[in-house]
Chain A
């Protein structure tokens, strides 16, 4: 069955530190991959997406993600976290051939001043 796993429910980092949020998926072929951020009480904002091509994807707000086919992973990274990055982050998979997204359970990021 298709699934998305975000192993870390909570992550706390200090402001200025680097960040990596993990995302693993289970799917028979290369899916479309997305990272979204959600602030409390808000909708989803797309950070970046991967459909094909270069496996290192640049997004907004200084985020990037790398698609690793061999590991079925699409981890999100940021070299230096800002306090405003504190939010919930969701990885999503959009299997080609369907229009449905499968969301991971989310990772809540806390940033220490």
Chain B
């Protein structure tokens, strides 16, 4: 159980376009979802925390207008990279947390974004 999927697994886009990445909890309801960014050979950096039905909370230094997060339902969160540029190229990983007080996150397989 506790499976999280991401779609797409890889995406290549042109500079200036927007890209949407989906994160789904397949067999549980996720009150909270997290979005991380990982640069090559580096650790995961938390970008934002989203709760179903409310606005995402962004970490310091993350541009909320650049990285739009929508947690529309208890099983789906989306990250939209708007007007993408080559420096946005990265590995994006989402995670989902079931319910309040459940202090464990389940991670998706990640999405590799390449902006040309």
Chain B binds chain A? yes
Q: Which residues from chain A sit less than 8 Å from chain B, CB to CB?
A: 32, 34, 36, 41-44, 46, 49, 51, 90, 94, 96, 99-101, 103-106, 108
Residues of A within 8 A of B103 (CB): 32, 51, 94, 96, 99
Total A-B residue contacts, Cβ distance less than 8 Å: 48
With A43-B93, A94-B104: A104-B43 Cβ-Cβ less than 8 Å: yes
Q: How far apart are A86's CB and chain B's nearest CB, in angstroms? A: 14
CB<8 Å pairs between A and B, sample of 16: A42-B109, A43-B6, A43-B108, A44-B44, A44-B107, A90-B43, A94-B104, A99-B49, A99-B103, A99-B105, A101-B34, A101-B46, A101-B95, A103-B44, A106-B42, A106-B43
Q: How far apart are A83's CB and chain B's nearest CB, in angstroms? A: 21
Within B36-54, the residues touching A (CB, 8 Å) are 41-44, 46, 49
Chain B residue, CB-CB nearest to A31: B103
Q: How far apart are A4's CB and chain B's nearest CB, in angstroms? A: 9
Residues of A within 8 A of B105 (CB): 94, 99, 101
What DSSP secondary structure best describes chain B's contact surface?
Answer: strand
The answer to whether B75 has its CB under 8 Å from any CB of chain A is no
Q: How far apart are A89's CB and chain B's nearest CB, in angstroms? A: 11
Residues of A within 8 A of B43 (CB): 90, 103-106
Q: Cα distance A32–B44 when bound, in Å?
A: 18
Of B32, B104, B107, the contact of A49 (CB 8 Å cutoff): B104
Q: Cα distance A36–B108 when bound, in Å?
A: 13
Complex contact B104–A43 (CB within 8 A)? no
Complex contact A43–B107 (CB within 8 A)? yes
Complex contact A32–B104 (CB within 8 A)? yes
Other CB < 8 Å A-B pairs besides A44-B107, A106-B42, 17 of them?
A: A34-B104, A41-B91, A42-B110, A43-B108, A43-B110, A44-B44, A51-B103, A90-B43, A99-B34, A99-B97, A100-B46, A100-B49, A101-B34, A101-B95, A105-B43, A106-B43, A108-B41
Q: How far apart are A38's CB and chain B's nearest CB, in angstroms? A: 9
